[in-house]
Structure 1
């Protein structure tokens, strides 16, 4: 039986490993792009340090209110909305099913971190796999909080908002239909280890339910929201730090060379989004800081790919689904998002 203390220790250990890994990988990428970073810029360029501090503070301050709002809405939904309500919205027709599931995030605005466990439970209870996949791919992008955050971040280019929502729904629906046609086996994990973890989680949830009866659902929502806010906040600060570092100390000419490349810009943004693992309520402000150096199409790739598949999301998917299925999802998203963004960037922006 897994105790609460053991769960907390495991969670803390996982956070430290993830944060360290992300930070190390980010530094490797920065030095690969510009190896003389600290010898020629940080120590010698006071203006660069001022730019770094200004950008870091501005990105965090702009994104934090939307992150907080998203956490509040997500926590209230998690506590007050039964999963059966979500399941009732899915039509039996697969085409209608993936379309409706892709738009469910409008009615049930839960961020990507809270969405994967919910979808896993729904699939285990009978929701079609293709609908569940479409829901957790598009849900973090089409929800009203993310729409508002993107609109504020790209206030001078509102077309980016509609392109983001449209591409997210199109990719999620297409991948959902591919899953419907080609995935016939149950991809959920069902091993002794996962059963043990589920038993431990159920035991923890049971005790949590007793506390809920005593303290009320509002207390549970506050506790859930606080934990989620600090969990998402660390990724926001780390992502803002790396973004400000890149903008301040990597020469603008090199950034433009990468950012205006027809294919290199999209590849860079895929890797950037995957490593940063930003919450979808905050990533638009990071993307907006690259408007002057990166093409609109590559920024669209960043805004759609990141909420669908990133490092922390991959770890969560691997804990719920079999590795082969997770790899299939990553490949499909990595192919379809940049292709869609390239088409939109060429004909729409």
Structure 2
């Protein structure tokens, strides 16, 4: 009888059993290449190289009379305004971080009709730029302060605080009445808007902020974070405003400026719209207004009253803090009242 050889079973370790094939080792993944990014040092290096390569054309362009006039106005506005801007940012950051919102709730009268002018006058004592006044007003509403009083403070703080009035006096040394006119016109707008909101405002028009400003940070970190944010944004808007003022002074045809300045209504409306578009910090806008010598003092007063109360950056901040519905109602009324107050105050004091 033939003897058949049994097939090897699983796990059979006999010498005649076929050895299993070794598993292939997984291939090591290729290192991913990091995308090249344009960092700040690289951008600065490229800019310096470009300036070195183009120094001859740049030198010829800057030697032109128009560019010399433009550079003179631009540098003068920036150098005059920058110290006031930095000081105002430091003080407004200190108030926003170290002064608790409960202080305002205790200091304001319980009656809204009286709380509005008191909150408006508080803006003359507590310096605050536009970037700080909006979150502070939001904190006041969140802590139970009547919205009418909080809005009065929001409008008055960046417009009539001591830093702004001092900067106005320095910018208009030959027209000291501009300081009083700016104070009176801005305070009138702040109180009028507060009383108007108390009369016709509805709670569903305003969406109170749901969280505190700088929540989760220490006071020191919140202070320097606020300073860095405000200096960066306000400094950028100051540069843009100084460039616009220098361009109007050096490039715009004199006949155009005379035509716009010759019509009182057009002059006021033009500078009011310019204030909205340029969005200059209130600590620096007086120097830009002072450089617009073609326009009347009343038109320049409209520029100074409108700018700290409603401009492009303020509209965005108000919409983000209180809701878009609030900003769409609040901004046009503030703009109209600011122009009317500036014209009325200018007719009496200027």
Q: TM-score, normalised by structure 2?
A: 0.78
State the 1:220 CA deviation.
Answer: 4.3
Q: 1:309 to 1:46 in 2, by over 3 A?
A: same
**Matching of residues 1-349 of structure 1 within 5 Å:** 46-189=64-207, 198=211, 205-206=215-216, 208-209=217-218, 212=219, 217=220, 220-290=222-292, 292-349=293-350
CA deviations on 1:181-225 (whole Å, 9 max, x unpaired) are 1113243337xxx86xx4xx77x731x23xx5xxxx3x5433432
User: What number of residue pairs does the alignment pair up?
Assistant: 291
2:42 maps to which residue?
none
Larger Rg: 2
Distance 2:152 2:225 in 1: 29
Structure 2 spans left out of the alignment, 5+ residues:
1-60
State the 1:232 CA deviation.
Answer: 0.9
Q: TM-score, normalised by structure 1?
A: 0.78
Kept after mapping to 1: 8 A contact 2:181/2:346: no
More contact order relative to length (CA 8 Å, sep ≥ 6):
1
State the 1:108 CA deviation.
Answer: 1.9
Distance 1:334 1:171 in 2: 9
Which 4+ residue blocks in structure 1 deviate beyond 6 angstroms? none
CA deviations on 1:136-194 (whole Å, 9 max, x unpaired) are 0111111111111111001110101100010111111111111001113243337xxx8
Distance 2:335 2:82 in 1: 28
State the 1:94 CA deviation.
Answer: 2.6
Distance 2:136 2:345 in 1: 32
State the 1:323 CA deviation.
Answer: 2.5
SS at match of 1:205: coil
Q: 1:186 to 1:90 in 2, by over 3 A?
A: farther
Kept after mapping to 2: 8 A contact 1:130/1:180: yes
Q: 1:96 to 1:260 in 2, by over 3 A?
A: farther
State the 1:85 CA deviation.
Answer: 1.0
RMSD (CA atoms): 2.1
Q: 1:220 to 1:121 in 2, by over 3 A?
A: closer
Kept after mapping to 2: 8 A contact 1:116/1:317: yes
Distance 2:260 2:107 in 1: 43
State the 1:89 CA deviation.
Answer: 2.0
- Structure 1 or 2: more helix by fraction: 1
State the 1:122 CA deviation.
Answer: 1.2
Distance 1:239 1:263 in 2: 23
SS at match of 1:109: coil
CA deviations on 1:24-76 (whole Å, 9 max, x unpaired) are xxxxxxxxxxxxxxxxxxx8992211110000000000000000110111122
Structure 1 spans left out of the alignment, 5+ residues:
1-42
